[in-house]
A and B are shown apart, each in its own frame.
Chain A
Amino acid sequence: MFAYLTRRLLLSVAVLFGLSLLVFAMVNLSGDPVRLLLPPETSAAEVARFRTAMGLDDPLPVRYVRFLSHAVRLDFGASIQLRDPALELVAQRLPATLALAGLAVAAAVLIGVPLGVLTALRRNTPWDTVITSLALVGQSTPVFWVGVMSILLFAVELRWLPSSGSGTWRHLVLPVGTLTLFLLGGLVRVTRTSMLEVLDRPYVRTATSKGQLRRVVVWKHAFRNAMIPVVTQIGLQMRFVIGGSVITEQVFAYPGLGRLLVNAVYARDYPIVEAGVFLVALILIAVNTLVDLSYAWLNPKVSIA
């Protein structure tokens, strides 16, 4: 267990290190940051003094080490537009995104897992065909189109819900619904596949043949084991949740992290982009580690050594 955790931690550090290289290369590939920081009428001497003061004349490796030492302390500098520390601005938007993503994942699991189990138990019946086909349609639908169509139906035509913004629970319904539909298809299909595979295993057939109740076989013997790949999938899907959230936030003008980042790209506000990318990466690494640890709880046979 300890060895596993150490390995996992080392891997996370390696991932973050790779990411820091990527972000550093990006910012330095994109040209002279001084152009963005100073007004265009600044004199050449002024620009030179500024460059020295900012350490931009140092060789690249020196600058990378400096960037890294700041990044380790989660210091990404001040936002170019707003002058506040970038990390603070990013952290302020995090709760809104976590609320959207958390509710959508919860809803997708509550709906998707039972549907997946149902299709597996009723394999090759009309239930199975209809739900599996709908799941594939869901996986093929662009998330922003679902969002815009839900606005057309519920905000423009029926006038039941607001089309954008945030503040009340009514503002959350359409974004959460959109993100839930985005996640649902994949979850149904993974649950179905996993459940079918487990139902075919010898210990489940043994349980059935010794006269165990169907209910006990399905839920006690099969379901718990079938959930292992499903939990992995949810962990892997976290990156799609964040990706889908970025787009969903844009559709509904929802003031979350994704919208902040997209607007920062438009404004070439690099500190915000760096801080946001790092923070999300940290969160995703933490989630994936938790998912791995949950195996042991779901299946005591798995010893993580």
Chain B
Amino acid sequence: MRGRTLQRWWRNPRTKAALVVLVPVLAAALLAPLYPVSPTAQDLRATLAPPGTTSASGAFYLLGTDELGRDLTARLLHGLRASVLVGAAALSIAVVVGTTLGLLAGWFGGAVDSVVTGATETLMTLPFILLAIAVIGALGASTTVLILTLGLTGWVSFAKLVRAKTFELRNEEFVQAAHALGVRTPGKLVRHVLPNVAPLMLVDGTLQFGALVLAEAGLSFLGLGVPPPTPTLGGILAGGQVFLAVAWWIATLPGLTLLVLVLAINVLGDTLRDAAAP
């Protein structure tokens, strides 16, 4: 992004609002292992303790406990960490796969383009959850399968962006000039096409990150995500639904955590889009 665009982005008050929320939340996710209480340690004398309880053993539960007396603060921090890490890993795969396929399709056209467009079209028609059900149903739920499923279905928007831009730039004079100067194809692609799509990719990547976090949470809620005992926000929420009438906090707090995280990401994506294309 150029200096003026960056300045426009930074002057937007919503940018700062989003960052004020997002930076501490991401820091909490990454630093979760430093929290002194284990997310799986049980305190059977303090089960279903409401937020702000001090148990008989003297432990203080800021956000309460679940049916096994596990500290909800610790579980939410670790669940947040799983959401952020799985989302980031899936996003990296999606960006790499989408960029590569988009460059290939846009540059070579013809049969390569047809195959990539066909794959994009297939993925755009089908609900992500249905594909995930097919894949996870066959391979079983594990963190690796989850990340691969999210990553290998989330590349479509990046491929479309990169393909369109590559197609457009292929005939531009400066790319033709590079060709005339004998720059080989990979060099041309990387040096001339990628910088031109980078701002749009940043906007799309931010919004896609939010979508991937929500998708991961949905699959975990269905029991198809990261398997237990690793806490996930979707998993904690699903477990808490059973105790809704006696312990509202177990199901309520993971959803709020997700909402805060994804809203901050989406507002940030919005401000980036406003700055990139006013």
What residues of B have a CB within 8 angstroms of the CB of A277 in the complex? 126, 130-131, 133-134
Interface residues of B in 245-278 (CB under 8 A from A): 245, 248, 251-252, 254-256, 258-259, 262-263, 265-267, 270
Q: Which residue of A lies closest to B141 (CB)?
A: A265
Q: B270 to A136, Cβ gap below 8 A?
A: yes
| Residues of chain B contacted by A136 (CB below 8 angstroms) | 263, 266-267, 270
On chain A, the residues within 8 Å of B237 by CB distance are 142, 144-145, 148
Select one of B119, B130, B254, B266 contacting A243, CB under 8 A: B130
A142-B255, A148-B237, A280-B130 given as contacts; is B222 within 8 A of A268 (CB)?
Answer: no
- When distances are taken between beta carbons in the complex, the residues of chain A under 8 Å from B133 are 246, 261-262, 265, 273, 277
A91 within 8 A of B: no
Report B108-128 residues with CB < 8 Å from chain A CB: 118-119, 121-122, 124-128
Asked if B241 is at the interface (CB within 8 A of a chain A CB), the reply is yes
User: Is B127 touching A280 in the complex (CB atoms < 8 A)?
Assistant: yes
Choose, from B84-92, B95-103, B210-218, the stretch at the interface. B210-218
| B266 pairs with A22, CB closer than 8 A | no
- B223: interface (CB < 8 Å): yes
The reply on A27 being an interface residue by CB < 8 A is yes
- The secondary-structure label for the interface of chain B is helix
Is A131 an interface residue, CB under 8 A from the partner? no
Contact A148 B222, beta carbon cutoff 8 Å: no
- A-B contacts, CB under 8 A, total: 154
| A43 at interface by CB-CB < 8 Å | no
Asked if B218 and A247 sit within 8 Å, CB to CB, the answer is: yes
Which of A142, A236, A280, A288 counts the most chain B CB atoms within 10 A? A142
Given contacts A139-B266, A148-B255, contact A246 B130 (CB under 8 A): yes
B234: chain A residues at CB < 8 Å are 142, 144
Asked if A19 and B126 sit within 8 Å, CB to CB, the answer is yes
Partner of A142, one of B119, B131, B259: B259
Does A90 make an interface contact (CB < 8 A)? no
Q: Is the CB of B136 within 8 A of A265?
A: yes
Does residue B180 face the partner (Cβ distance < 8 Å to A)? no
Q: CB distance B129 to A281 under 8 Å?
A: no
Rounded to whole angstroms, the CA-CA distance of A156 and B267 in the bound complex is 33
CB distance from A135 to the nearest CB of B (A): 11
Q: 1/0 per residue A119-158: CB within 8 Å of B?
A: 0000000000000000011011111110011011000100
Query: Which residues of A, 27-59, contact B by the 8 Å Cβ criterion?
Result: 27, 29-30
In the assembled complex, the Cα of A27 lies from the Cα of B139 at a distance in Å of 9
Partner of A246, one of B129, B135, B137, B263: B129
Q: Assess the A156–B244 pair: CB atoms within 8 A.
A: yes
**A143-B218, A145-B259, A250-B221 as given contacts; A243 in contact with B138, CB under 8 Å:** no
Query: When the two chains form their complex, are residues B139 and A29 in contact, meaning their CB atoms are under 8 A apart?
Result: yes
Chain B proximity mask over A1-23: 1 for CB below 8 Å, otherwise 0:
00000000001001100110011
Minimum Cβ distance to chain A for residue B216 (Å): 10
Contact partner of A152 among B124, B140, B252, B263, CB < 8 A? B252
Q: How far is the CA of A206 from the CA of B111 in the complex (A)?
A: 45
Interface pairs A-B: 3 shortest CB-CB: A145-B255, A26-B138, A30-B138
Chain B: residues with CB nearer than 8 A to chain A?
118-119, 121-122, 124-131, 133-140, 210, 214, 217-218, 221-224, 234, 237-238, 240-241, 244-245, 248, 251-252, 254-256, 258-259, 262-263, 265-267, 270
